[in-house]
Amino acid sequence: MLILMISISMENKEVKLLGLWSSPFPVRVIWALKLKGIEYEYIEEKDLMQNKSPLLLQSNPVLKKVPVLIHGGKPICESLNILEYIDEVWSHNRLLPEDPYEKAVVRFWAKFAEEKLVESARTMLTSEGEELEKEVKQLEEALDILEKEMKDLKKKFFGGESIGYLDLVLAWSVLWLEIIEELSCGKKISDTHRYPTFNRWMEDVKNINIIKENLPSKDQLTVYLLYVRNLALASKANN
């Protein structure tokens, strides 16, 4: 009874989310909160380059990055960490599997996606020439591995018939990856012929209301990411 009361008390504490519209990481948290029906206050950071808010610096003094979930006045940082926290505190509509082995497997692939897909896409956006070619190759190799894993799963989503933790981790690709490919390479790297299962998954994810209703405008995001790319390339040219 005491444990139940503590759990209810935790669930009912005030929830705030510090985010930035152009970042793919806070939106993962937004999707998780929406999926679980958790009420929260969203606080948009205006400028992470030169003018971080006092609340962000206080809440995440080490990395000074978004997202930060503030629950009952206590900050939780890093999107993957936040997703797991949300799933533990609000245990309905589970994102992670209950089975320890299956949970470990999901965490492995989430780490793989962060280290291989996210980092390659990030570098592709700000590079050209040989550096860009190297990152495109790494992205293709990572997608090859992911494509094989998705074929072997034989599920609509990583979470089964409904989206789960790993789907939320990878769902940034339905918009950000597409734009980064267009801006850096002028073509789609994750094409349908080479990665049919991955593309089918992306289409299924795009059709989920909670996902598509909380994505930024493609046109607006394209303009912003082009600005970031041009700024980074100009900075490299001047060094």
- pLDDT of amino acid 5: 45
Average pLDDT on 96-109 reads 96
| Averaged pLDDT, 208-223 | 97
Average pLDDT, the chain: 93
Residue 2 pLDDT greater than 90, yes or no? no
Cα distance between residue 71 and residue 77, in whole Å = 11
Predicted pLDDT at 198: 95
Task: Categorize the per-residue pLDDT at 46 as very low, low, confident or very high, splitting at 50, 70 and 90.
Answer: confident
Tell me the backbone φ, ψ of residue 47, rounded to 5 degrees. Answer: -155, 105
| Predicted confidence (pLDDT) at residue 231 exceeds the cutoff of 70 | yes
CB atoms closer than 10 angstroms to residue 156: 15
**Residue 183's closest CA among 141, 146, 149, 233?**
233
pLDDT of residue 1: 52
**All domains of the chain in start order, with CATH:** 2-89 (3.40.30.10), 100-238 (1.20.1050.10)
DSSP string, 124-181: HHT--HHHHHHHHHHHHHHHHHHHHHHHHH-SSBTTBSS--HHHHHHGGGGTHHHHHH
pLDDT interval class at 6 (50, 70, 90): very low
Q: Does residue 9 have a pLDDT over 60?
A: no
Confidence of residue 60 (pLDDT cuts 50, 70, 90): very high
Task: Give the C-alpha separation, 35 to 163, whole Å.
Answer: 9
Q: What share of the chain is helix, strand, coil (3-state, %, to 5)?
A: 60, 10, 30
Q: Which of 121, 115, 149, 148 is nearest to 136 (CA)?
A: 121
How confident is the model over 121-158, as pLDDT tens digits? Answer: 999 999 999 999 999 999 999 999 999 999 888 788 99
Residue 18's pLDDT band (boundaries 50, 70, 90)? Answer: very high
